[in-house]
Amino acid sequence: MDERPVESSVEWVFREERGRLLATLVRRFGDLDLAEDVTSEAIEAALEHWPVEGVPDRPGAWLLTTARRKAVDRLRRDQAYAARLAVLQVEADRAAPAPPADAGGDLPDERLQLFFTCAHPALAAEDRGALTLRCLAGLTTAEVARAFLLPPATMAQRIVRAKKKIREARIPFRVPGADELPERLPGVLQVIYSIFTEGYAASSGARLQRLDLAEEAIRLAWILRRLLPSEREVAGLLALMLLIHARREARTGPDGEIVLLDEQDRDRWDQSMIEEGGDLVLVALTGGPPGPYGVQAAIAALHDEAADVASTDWPQIVALYDVLVALAPSPVVALNRAAALAMRDGPEAGLALLDELADEPRLRGYHPYPTARADLLRRLGRFPEAAAAYREALELAGTEPERAHLRRRLHAVETPGA
């Protein structure tokens, strides 16, 4: 028996084994609801037995055996349900035959199947992140709801809707074949990155950052990295998130206020995380043409390696944005490139590019766009125009720290001599 304290062992099992256990049960029984139920029941059984009997040497295998028995018991009680699952299982086996299961051995890591199922393109985009957090991160529905700042009832409906779609559309629990992987993997990466960006810069609420959410996305990316070690874009995504998250402690002040990049205390940046991210950038950019996440990670690495904003290699950053525009053109990429160009060539050059994006519908309602214009107008001394742009951004900003920052900037350009 393991000598670790039972409480910490249960937490460790929940964090490290739950996703693997759930994926194994989904693959065995072909039903996500059943798998979730018996996974929870198995963990409840562990909480009951382990304090008395001690933590097993192979806790994952113990949970798998317990969960399988509970699933079989349930199917015996409901023959109609069992018959329906049998049909689904036959279809799943035809799509991807299951490997022999051995309850006494190590749990097979089938989380990769769950990644692709949760991020299946047939699911609504807003449902994919929720399902990923629910199934792979092990968050409760209430916790997922808090992550997306939605009422629990609304989030429960989303999760039920996604599961229903998987069931009715007969979406297979399998890893795409080699010919499908290039098309499907970006969707999986986008789900994880969306979770991270909501943690890095919350869309609404009292806080700028949701560190728990960002760290959960990084943990999911580490899992995916272990499962797909040869996929350079997986390394690129993980590198990007690590290099950004390394600045987390310096991004806000004592009262939660925003601290911009040029004002951050770089001694507070996580150097070990920066080194780890830098090593992964090399993996992402070596061995073939770069992907969008690898290029973004290279940009983040240049920021992290610089002693200050003035000494940052802005020409190289602009060159990398030129590559990114070719790989993954979007209005947000164009906006970021304009900001970098302003640092290289001056605010007038950056403002000219931003003005070219003025009619872009996808930037309407996106407060970083008027914020970027306001900052460049302020640098050019065009204070009335800057004030108007700050007011526009203030109406769109979602978090209180962002609004407070914009109010300070607005006051500065409204009273430039004060």
Say whether pLDDT at 149 is over 80. Answer: no
Confidence at residue 150, expressed as pLDDT on a 0 to 100 scale: 79
CA distances from 338 to 122, 143, 286, 350, 402 (A): 35, 37, 27, 5, 21
Confidence at residue 139, expressed as pLDDT on a 0 to 100 scale: 75
* pLDDT band per the 50, 70, 90 thresholds, residue 206: low
* pLDDT band per the 50, 70, 90 thresholds, residue 107: very low
Length of the chain: 418
Say whether pLDDT at 97 is over 70. Answer: no
Say whether pLDDT at 203 is over 80. Answer: no
Residues 125, 131, 136: CA angle, nearest 5 degrees:
130
When comparing pLDDT for 57 and 395, which is higher?
A: 395
Sequence-separated (6 or more) residues with CB below 8 Å from residue 263? none
Q: Smallest Cα–Cα separation from 190: which of 293, 92, 270?
A: 293
Q: H-helix or E-strand containing 25? A: helix 6-29
| 33 within a domain of the structure (yes/no) | yes
Say whether pLDDT at 232 is over 90. Answer: yes
Say whether pLDDT at 90 is over 70. Answer: no
Burial class of residue 132, CB neighbours in 10 A (0-12, 13-18, 19+): buried
Q: Mean pLDDT across the stretch 110-116?
A: 82
- What total of structural domains would you count in the chain? 2
Q: Mean pLDDT across the stretch 120-137?
A: 85
Confidence at residue 168, expressed as pLDDT on a 0 to 100 scale: 85
| Domain-ending residue, one of 60, 82, 105 | 105
Confidence at residue 161, expressed as pLDDT on a 0 to 100 scale: 92
Instruction: Of 166-175, 268-277, 283-292, 384-393, give the lowest mean pLDDT range.
Output: 166-175
Say whether pLDDT at 99 is over 90. Answer: no
User: What number of H helices and E strands is found in the chain?
Assistant: 19, 0
Q: Mean pLDDT across the stretch 266-295?
A: 96
Q: What is the percent of the chain where pLDDT is above 90?
A: 45
Average pLDDT, the chain: 85
Say whether pLDDT at 92 is over 60. Answer: no
pLDDT tens per residue, range 233-256: 999 999 999 999 999 999 988 888
* pLDDT band per the 50, 70, 90 thresholds, residue 302: very high
pLDDT tens per residue, range 318-363: 999 999 999 999 999 999 999 999 999 999 999 999 999 999 998 9
Q: Mean pLDDT across the stretch 262-287?
A: 96
Instruction: Of 158-162, 165-169, 346-350, give the lowest mean pLDDT range.
Output: 165-169
Q: Mean pLDDT across the stretch 352-378?
A: 94
Which of 94-103, 124-133, 292-301: highest mean pLDDT?
292-301
| 386 within a domain of the structure (yes/no) | yes
Say whether pLDDT at 304 is over 70. Answer: yes
| 24 within a domain of the structure (yes/no) | yes
**Rounded to whole angstroms, how far apart are CA atoms 228 and 337?**
31
When comparing pLDDT for 78 and 160, which is higher?
A: 160
52, two tokens: 């008395």
| 211 within a domain of the structure (yes/no) | no
| 3 within a domain of the structure (yes/no) | yes
| 237 within a domain of the structure (yes/no) | no
Q: Tell me which residue range forms the domain holding 354.
A: 334-418
Confidence at residue 278, expressed as pLDDT on a 0 to 100 scale: 97
Confidence at residue 116, expressed as pLDDT on a 0 to 100 scale: 87
Confidence at residue 245, expressed as pLDDT on a 0 to 100 scale: 95
| 197 within a domain of the structure (yes/no) | no
Q: Mean pLDDT across the stretch 102-107?
A: 38
| Domain-ending residue, one of 105, 133, 148 | 105
354, two tokens: 């931003």
| Domain-ending residue, one of 76, 105, 134 | 105
Query: What CATH number did the domain enclosing 373 receive?
Result: 1.25.40.10
| 209 within a domain of the structure (yes/no) | no
Q: Which amino acid is at 304?
A: D
In whole angstroms, what separates CA 292 from the centre of its chain? 16
Confidence at residue 74, expressed as pLDDT on a 0 to 100 scale: 83
